[in-house]
Structure 1
Amino acid sequence: MSNGGPMDVVRTITPSFVRRSFALKFFIALLCIGLLVGAVGAVGTQQITGEFEQQVRDEHATTAKQEADSLAAWNEQNQLFAETMARAQPVRAGNVSEIQSAFDAELRARELDGDDQPNLHYVDTGTGVVTASTKSNYRGEDVAILNETVRAAIEEGATTAVTDAYTDTPTLGSPQPRIAYVTPAENDDDAVVVYTVPLDTRTGELSGTGSSVGMVVDGSDRVLFHQKNNDLLLTPYGEDNDAPAAARESGPASPGSIRAGPARGALNGSASMAGEEYVVGYAQVLNTDWVVLIHTNTAVAYGTVRSVADRGLIATALGVAAIGAIGAVLGRNTASSLNRLTRKTERMQEGDLDVEIHSERVDTVGRLYAGFGAMRDSLRERLDEVERERKRAEVARDEVVETNAYLQSKAAEYSEVMEQAAAGDLTQRMETDGQHDAMDAVGEDFNEMIEELEKTTGQLKSFAGKVEESGTVVGTSAASVRDAAEQVAESIQMISDDAHMQREELRQATEAVDAAVAALDDGDVATARDRLGAVAGTLNDVADATESTMAESENVAGAAEEQAAELNEVSARADELVRYVGPLYDVLDRFETESEHQFVFTGGPSIAQDDD
């Protein structure tokens, strides 16, 4: 198992029925891919939309900035014109008729004439009379004929002043919104030059972005200039947005734009803007509190990006649908192939190795089919091999069973033979039949051992008989010579020392016989055999010594009396030897042997007896 990886978490939270179904897992994976692609497409489209919308707002801000710069130039030009006229030669000379001629000529040169055109006025502030004017009905009139906004500027300034917008009442026609530029005349007279400009001279000159609506508001947020509708001049802007305030706060150098709406003020005068949301770009006009505002309906402003976004969403939807369709086809085919393969493997699992596993596909699923087919063939071969091995194992098992039965039977037979041998029947032998080398080797080794043991036991039995016989002969001989010994006691005095030595040797032989008897009682036949051999040697020595003594006794008759006493003791010892050898012979007689094995030794009374 894995140790706490992300896949372990997924396996833990995934239901088992989902984990068991490839088609369901593939569908879920396909759904996740579709959702991921859709999310990426939607996010990408949204990002593109946001970038395009920002671009549209930047364009509005740029347009507002350009219009603000143009309007600032226009305003500065008007101021410069007013100041230029205030410095003109006729004005410096103070000649009213020449001033009038100069004013008329200037306006004609600019092709500006009529009540709805700009006007120049020369006002003598000392007398309060308009002494010269491009408007004929103003000449010679009191300064009160001018708008009070203009009069206020005349009273205030010693420098050029730009008035707020005001409504002038022309001789003919409707009231006309204007602004005025008031600058002191450069002469000794107490006079000013007033240049009044109709606001509608800029109407139609405001640029926009196609179907946009441009306007300029003053410091009181009144419409100062309008791109299309003069009826809105000097009416409240009335839109619920912070564009004018934002423009004045950021200053002329920092134009901006916002999205606002719906339109409910001055924009309602435009059919394309009434009640609609809009994008407004703003910029403050340099050296004024005027703000240029460029408005565009969002449907128009974002029309292209909305179209692109819609196409992007449609493309994303089509992509998701294509992924779903392709995935469904691939998934269905793959799932069907895997399900068929699963059913075939289940049949294989049930033992049907003849199931047909084949696919025309050459992809991974096809290779999987080929792999399972190869595995089936290999498994079938392995099963055949296993069956052959099973049969061989059964044959080997039967052989093992037969061998075990033979071994058990043979072991029982060998056990019976060993029990009889242990009971004393040393004639028993283990029969070998050549069927099992190990058992034959055991039988042969046992037969060799028991044969050697039988031979040793037979020799011991023969030796014990001879010892018993020799003891009897010794006793008889001792009785026969007792009387003679008494007569020749004096003769054997000379060999008393030798008899003493023989007595010691007989004592040692007696102790050896005792030890041999004890060893036989303990079942140690080998030790008994060795010790009895030693006894036999001792007895031979004793026999030699006895013959020598008898020869000596014939020559030393005078010692017979003393030797008689020694012979009595020897006779007693011989009787005791016979008593010891008797039980030894009884023990050895328990062992049954096929033949008596002769135990040959030289010397002793028995040989002498036989010779007699």
Structure 2
Amino acid sequence: MTGRDDGGRRIGGQNGDSGDVDDRSSDSADARLGDGCSLAIISRRYGGTVAVAFGVVVLLVAATGVASYGIAHQTTESERIGDLRTTATVQAEAVGGWHDALRVRTRTLSNAAALQSDNETRIRRFLRNGPTTDSDSVTAVHYVETAGVRGTVAVSTNESVEGGLLARTGPAWRPVVAAANGDDGDDGVVHSERAYDSSDGPALAFASPVPGRDAVLVVVGTVDERRLSGGSTPLTVFGEAGEAVFASDSDIVPETAPESRMDAVTNGTAVTATRGDAVVAYAPVDGTQWVVATAAERDVFARPTRVVGLTAAAILAVTVLSLGAVGLFLTRWTVGPLTRLTRRVRAMEQGDLDADLSTARRDEVGRLYAAVEGMRDRTREQLRQAHEAREATERSRRELQRQNDRLDQFASTLSHDLRNPLTVARGHANLLSAQFDTLAADGVETDALQRHVHKLEGAHDRIESIIEDVLTLTREGASVEETERVHLGDVARDAWANVDSKDASIVVAESRPIEADRSRLLRAFENLFRNAIDHVGEEATVELGTLSDGFYVADDGPGIPEDAVDDIFEYGHTDSEGGTGLGLSIVKTIAEAHGWRLYVDTTYEDGAMFVFADVFDRDDHGWEASAFEWATTDDD
């Protein structure tokens, strides 16, 4: 319930929320009104439209810059990561080549004939004259005799270790010698699992047993990180267990490789992983269980992107300032003239075709003024011509109507005035015929006189036919105003029944519905059928069929001579003794009243063919005359 407080203000009880609802409805209506006003201002003010257009352009430029920055960042990072994987693959190939070269050299040297002799001088000469001088990677070669318990370095390219015990002089390659002595390696060559420090830098020992001797040949190769890595990124090689075989001094490469990465690369796939602020690439070394790892800081990837971002921001700022200046200038330069032109065009809309459309501008705005002025002048001239044409058309229509009325009156009068004496003449002819019949019954010879009476009756019939044809020409020539859906075959059969077909026959080869005045179409068919029977004979065959844009009526007669084709539709043209020469003229008149074309197909070789064209509309497919059926769906 509601009431009033002491101050006379209305307070709410049960319906106390109505005030809030009204306020919200009012706010919503105000918001819609504000949006509508904003759109109206933009749509009706060229300056507002230009401002909105420039704002949209600025937003598009900004969005394009942001999108370009994002794409450049993503593309650059993706390309750099791909380059890092490629670098790791190249480094893996270099390490693999270094590894294979040392294995081949070790196996080749261990199988040399010089090492299979008992002459240490010969072995020493062989080792010191070749293996360490023709390779940058080989720093020392040791011939270790393993017959003793401890093993002795019998011959070495390093004189300081020659003759020493293996345990003292070569602790780093002692496990390799033991493995080679046991022939545990592939092709008899084994190498140490980790690089060790030597006087020439990190080194790796390769060992192979000497055939036929209790000896192992040890080849020491240095690990030149700069040469193997190409000097671009750090290089670390991990073994099968993930421990570093030899490691880079860089701290961005991990000391051990993750097991998942080792599994991926040992399957032949180069992969990358993020490690803090760096990206690490792993690549397998073919023919080994080693994995090469190289890394680069993410900051290196971001430098080109930052340059692109700064460039895009600068371009955006310059674009916004330039667009603002250009927009202000164009607005002031175009809004004023267009506003004036709008006022003058509105005056022209209200009928003032003498509005001043002159301007001193010679640019596009000036040409627009000139175009509007030319349009105004042409419109004025067209209005004048249309007015004159309308008056002329109206005069012609009235004159044509008067002529049609006179022609119809003339035809009716002619028909009435001719039929009255014709009826009298026909009556007298009948009386004469009856008298001659009486005389003939009394035995008087009247055959000669009867022939004259028959000729007289034939003349009367011809006069009657001429009267009917004249009436048809005057009345059937009017345009068809109302049509109905009729079937060609049905109308043709009705027309055939109306004519004296004698022994002739009609064949309806193909039929379909059309829009036509049935009575006029019936009359046209009757005249065509009579024409065919008169010219072909009593046993003529007439055929009706359809075409893509109409239909045809053909007979099996001798056809129409080429020199007569252009004249057969003329009034009075006939080559028949009893014809009026109006039958085909009537057919053409009826066709033209429907808006059709009628012509003779001179290419038809089996007789005469009359073609009715432009009968069907383009979208009138005549489906109801076919087996086509409309299908209904649940949505109908």
Q: TM-score, normalised by structure 2?
A: 0.44
Computing the radius of gyration over CA atoms, which structure comes out larger, 1 or 2?
A: 1
Q: TM-score, normalised by structure 1?
A: 0.46
Higher helix share: 1
